[in-house]
Amino acid sequence: MRRLSPSRAVLLVARREFLGKVRTRSFVIGTIVIVAVLAGYVLLQAVLFDQAGRSTVGLNGQATVLAEPLKETAKAFGREVSTVDVTDPAKAEEDVRSGDLDVLITGAPDALRVVVKDNLNSELQNALDAIVKQQVLNAQLAEAGLDPAVVAKNMAAARVTVVALEPESSQQGQRLAIGLVIAALLYYSLLVYGTMVAQGVVEEKSSRVVEILLATLRPWQLLLGKVMGLGAVGLVQLVLIGGIGLVLSTTTGTIDIPGLAGGALATGVLWYLIGFFLYATVFAAAASLVSRQEELQSVLTPISTVIIIAFVVGINLLIQDPSGTTVTVLSMLPPFAPILMPGRMAIGVAPLWQVLLSIVLAIGFVAAITWLGGKIYSNAVLRTGSRVKLRDALR
């Protein structure tokens, strides 16, 4: 007699689910669209960042000596400056008007005339003010018989000592962005692939193929195979999107913290696995209660709502204060942890004990929910017709 081991049964089901989904046009197109949107966003950020941080300054006549001091001073104020020497002020003014030049500077160093199109960037303004003041100061120092270079050196050494009680990472912006992206990706993956599991369950019920399958498979084998197969599809997509995003953002310099994005992607994958097993069983159990796709929405709404709340509320709290009490507690509760904890981890505000506690709680919750969901699924999946009451399915 031919035998079918439980592991081969589960793998066969998983393989069908995986190949069946990965080869669909909707998966391929969907993934391409998401990658394109992500790439577009990263590139736009890079370009905007580049443009916003850089000014082209035209220098004319005596002002050309300012090229080096201007670059250095502007940099100290947080602005990149590139300079060009211009010979024809009238034509240069036209360039400013057309936007080819951001700023045109003419005149003697102690009486500069600055031409801009509409307004002068405040960092550049501060830099120019500082230079002009320095010029005046240098002249006065020289009159008083002091060496401006020595004075400048002494001044540079003088500074206040800052003691930060809760130091904010200088990389806070980038970290927050990564945290939000990770939370958004997990939100998307859990919702989309959880729903896919539910649709698969109902498809088998409505087409009655489940009767044939359950004559040769145990319900748990069918359920586990389905969850594993579709979970793998989601994982492939997550890694693909995350990986491409990582490469793009690193090469364009949008993210310049070594290892941060990679680490965030790794924790994202871990939390995806936990979250998917947590939600997929619930989605499957809910779907097994109905027999038609049209009835599916009504049983899925409560589950989707939890995920949406975790995302919407969580994102708002993360932006406001990622260490706040509410978001800290939420991020450790199993239904919300898979979206919020990886976000907080990427931002760098989750202590190790909170991470470990949330993982332990989530895994315990997964065990309980898998047991319960498997029971509901086994009891309800062969009952076609009207919607099965949850109470009946639990008997």
Partner 1 sequence: MTNQEESTVAQGVLEIDRISKRYGEVVALRDMTFEVRAGELFGFVGSNGAGKTTAMRIALGVLAADSGEVRWNGEPITFETRRRIGYMPEERGLYPKMKVLEQLVYLAELHGLSTNDAHRSAENWIARLGVRDRRNDEVQKLSLGNQQRVQLAAALVHEPDVLVLDEPFSGLDPVAVDVMSQVLREKASAGVPVVFSSHQLDLVERLCDRIGIVRSGAMVACGTVDELRAGGETRLVVEVPDAAEGWADGVPGVRVVEVQGPRTTLELTPEADDQAVLGAALATGPVREFSRQRPSLTELFRNVVTEEGVA
Given the rule CB under 8 A, which residues bind partner 1? 1-4, 9, 12-13, 16, 20, 203-204, 207-218, 382, 384
Smallest separation (angstroms) from partner 1 to the CB of 215 = 5
Q: Specify the residue, 4 or 44, whose C-beta has the smaller distance to partner 1.
A: 4
Please, what's the b/e burial string for 307-327 (b: 16 or more CB within 10 A of its CB; e: otherwise)? beebbeebbebbeeebeeeeb
Tokens standing for residue 368: 């309980």
Q: Specify the residue, 16 or 97, whose C-beta has the smaller distance to partner 1.
A: 16
Alpha-carbon span 73 to 112, nearest angstrom = 16
Please report which helix (H) or strand (E) contains residue 12, including its range.
helix 6-22
Smallest separation (angstroms) from partner 1 to the CB of 191 = 22
Q: Specify the residue, 86 or 217, whose C-beta has the smaller distance to partner 1.
A: 217
At position 53, the amino acid (one-letter code) is G
Smallest separation (angstroms) from partner 1 to the CB of 16 = 6
Smallest separation (angstroms) from partner 1 to the CB of 380 = 13
Contacts of 244 (CB under 8 A, 6+ apart): 35, 38, 39
Q: Specify the residue, 214 or 244, whose C-beta has the smaller distance to partner 1.
A: 214
Smallest separation (angstroms) from partner 1 to the CB of 392 = 11
Smallest separation (angstroms) from partner 1 to the CB of 213 = 7
Are the beta carbons of 116 and 136 closer than 8 angstroms? no
Name all contacts of 364-373 with Cβ < 8 Å and 24+ positions apart. Answer: 364/334, 365/278, 365/334, 365/335, 366/274, 366/277, 366/278, 366/281, 366/334, 369/278, 369/281, 369/282, 370/277, 370/281, 372/285, 373/223, 373/281, 373/282, 373/284, 373/285
Smallest separation (angstroms) from partner 1 to the CB of 269 = 29
Q: Specify the residue, 211 or 321, whose C-beta has the smaller distance to partner 1.
A: 211
Of residues 112, 108, 92, the one with CA closest to residue 100: 92
User: DSSP character for 113?
Assistant: E
Question: How many residues are given for the chain?
Answer: 395
| Residue 126 burial class via C-beta count within 10 angstroms: exposed 0-12, middle 13-18, buried 19 and up | middle
Q: Specify the residue, 164 or 215, whose C-beta has the smaller distance to partner 1.
A: 215
E strands along 205-311, which residues? none
Q: Specify the residue, 216 or 323, whose C-beta has the smaller distance to partner 1.
A: 216
Q: Specify the residue, 214 or 270, whose C-beta has the smaller distance to partner 1.
A: 214
Smallest separation (angstroms) from partner 1 to the CB of 238 = 24
